[in-house]
Amino acid sequence: MKYSFKIKTLGVALLAGSILSSCTGDFDEINKDPNSLTEDQLDASMVGPAFATALYAGIHNGAGETTGYADDQGTWGIATGILSSTFIHYLSSDFSTERNSFGGYESRGWARFYTIALPGLNYAIKGAEGNAETSAVLKIWKVYMFNQMVDLYGPIPYSQAGSGKESVPYDSVESIYEDFFKLLNEANTVLSSTSLSSVGPLQSNDRVFQGSVDKWRVFGNSLRLRLALRISDVEPAKAKTEAEAAVAAGVMQSNDQSAYYQVSSVTPNNLNIVVGGWGYKMTSSMESLLLGYSDPRLQKWFSPGATGMYIGRPTGYLRGFFTDKERDNFSAFNENVLGLGPNPGSAPLSNTKNIEIFMASENYFSRAEGALNGWNMGGSAQSLYEQGIRLSMAQWGITDAAEINSYIAGTSLPTAPNVNTFRPGLVTESIPVKLPVAWSASTADQRTQIAVQKYLAIFPESWEAYADLRRTDAKIIYQPLNTDNTDVGVGKSLMKRVIYVTNEYSSNKQAVEDAITKLGGPDTGGTKLWWDTK
């Protein structure tokens, strides 16, 4: 497995448009282009364009046809939609993962990360040598990109990824996390002490924060808090230290600090074409929560089906189980989630809906959980929990104070799925969440309430929601009605990880075998990651 990636040309708008088109084939073939630019030809002028690639490909989206390069917008669907979004019931369709299996789709996200996102990042890092502020931002984005991958697979190529070696070793989850905290601390040190307000080399190519030093600094600290919670069961003392340091340094506290990728006709929001074109609908799990709580976000996110009711599609069946008429009954996604493309109604690419990366509301729920742990989070668990709800509501345009206060004080419970109205007895499982929104007197119940509201607030960014559900083991979603997954530890429960790709076994076999040893269990969807101890 080679990582000596080469790039044909460098474009200011999107470097990914010039990366070799093969995204799922043999990595060796990627390295045979004789006319490519090599790393030793880089200079500082290449940093911005390379960063642009790392940003967009790092959130698993593919570019539009207008680049002159037919990138694959289905990347989001396979790397995100069929895996994490479906696993946690943000989306429901007819694909094989509806049965809690992989269906052979697990390779796409891996291949495009290591052949597009990582080369862009590595080129930017190389070109930014000697520029402390630029390097600090790149360290933060490196942590963000790699955190999603390590939380999906477990041990992965990290410290030597992109080294050009024939065999690239896998690093353990524990060692990668150790480096994450080191990089985030270094980045905060630089960005909190600089006199600069913007990072010049990145500014014109930064479609997240436009090079703002302060916003990148706050983003990095927020990421540090997220990761501290992730290790809170396996390394509680370190988690406390890291979380308190992150909050003291300053995390996102308002929606104007949230991280979105600003889309364009060149870099669209792939969720639009995937959800519209692949037949995704609201899930029964989301329906139970949103309807039961009379959640005002329901009408922002979904539309009633043909019967005029909000009905979520249960997971666990193959395509064709429901009739065409029955499928019309399920609630579709609204434009607030998808945005609009050039041809509304025909599954267009969206260049109007920015892509959620990290929402400020998440920090409040993380801080609320930290407060329950006895950490200094700058507020009580209840006040932080309720503020997280307020920010999530405001994010989706819900501003009526009385309506929000009513929701926060609500004592209603999630409801049974409405699919039973036309398929009686289809869903017989008891409703997973048995708590209201109103703050409970029990600490154990409070933890569940925080997990539920965080699950809703993170929507539709499923990578983090998937990791958080595995860490907390909060019972929020229904089990699939059917599963083909025979892995020990899975069955109808939540998938614990994504398996390694077939190409790695043929091109990097020794390293994969070592990775499985570091994983601590077989390469299956039932093996828990280092931080997943419950």
Quote the pLDDT of residue 43: 66
Picking from 499, 498, 501, the residue whose alpha carbon sits closest to that of residue 27 is: 501
How is residue 527 annotated by DSSP?
Answer: P
Where residue 474 falls (left for φ over 0; alpha for ψ -120 to 50; beta otherwise) is beta
Q: How does residue 16 score in pLDDT terms, banded at 50, 70 and 90?
A: very low
| Range scoring the smallest mean pLDDT among 81-90, 119-128, 160-169, 391-400 | 160-169
Most confident of 89-98, 211-220, 496-505: 211-220
Picking from 217, 207, 212, the residue whose alpha carbon sits closest to that of residue 59 is: 207
| Range scoring the smallest mean pLDDT among 30-34, 165-169, 330-334 | 30-34
Residue 340: how many other CB atoms lie within 10 Å: 14
Quote the pLDDT of residue 31: 30
Average pLDDT of the segment spanning 304-333: 91
On average, the pLDDT of the chain sits at 88
The Cα–Cα gap between 236 and 88 comes to 26
Joined tokens for residue 487: 């892995």
Residues 6+ apart with CB under 8 A from 345: none
| Range scoring the smallest mean pLDDT among 3-7, 71-75, 349-353, 400-404 | 3-7
Quote the pLDDT of residue 67: 46
The Cα–Cα gap between 478 and 52 comes to 39
Q: How does residue 267 score in pLDDT terms, banded at 50, 70 and 90?
A: confident
pTM of the complete model: 0.92
Report the half-sphere exposure of 337 (CA within 13 A, side-chain side): 25
Residue 294 pLDDT greater than 70, yes or no: yes
Q: Tokens 């040190």, residue?
A: 189
SS3 of 299-314: the string is HHHECCCCCCCCCCEC
Per cent of the chain over pLDDT 70 is: 88
Q: Using an 8 Å Cβ cutoff, are 334 and 301 in contact?
A: yes
Quote the pLDDT of residue 184: 98
Residue 24 pLDDT greater than 80, yes or no: no
The Cα–Cα gap between 13 and 8 comes to 15
Residue 506: how many other CB atoms lie within 10 Å: 11
Joined tokens for residue 229: 């919670």
Residue 143 pLDDT greater than 60, yes or no: yes
Joined tokens for residue 299: 């009408």
Helical ranges in 443-534 per DSSP H = 443-458, 462-472, 502-507, 509-519
Q: Is 326 exposed, middle or buried (0-12, 13-18, 19+ CB in 10 A)?
A: middle
Amino acid in the structure at residue 111: A
Residues 6+ apart with CB under 8 A from 308: none
Quote the pLDDT of residue 484: 86
Quote the pLDDT of residue 343: 56
Quote the pLDDT of residue 232: 98
pLDDT (tens digit per residue) in 42-94: 567 789 999 999 999 999 998 765 544 445 677 888 899 999 999 999 999 87
Q: How does residue 458 score in pLDDT terms, banded at 50, 70 and 90?
A: very high
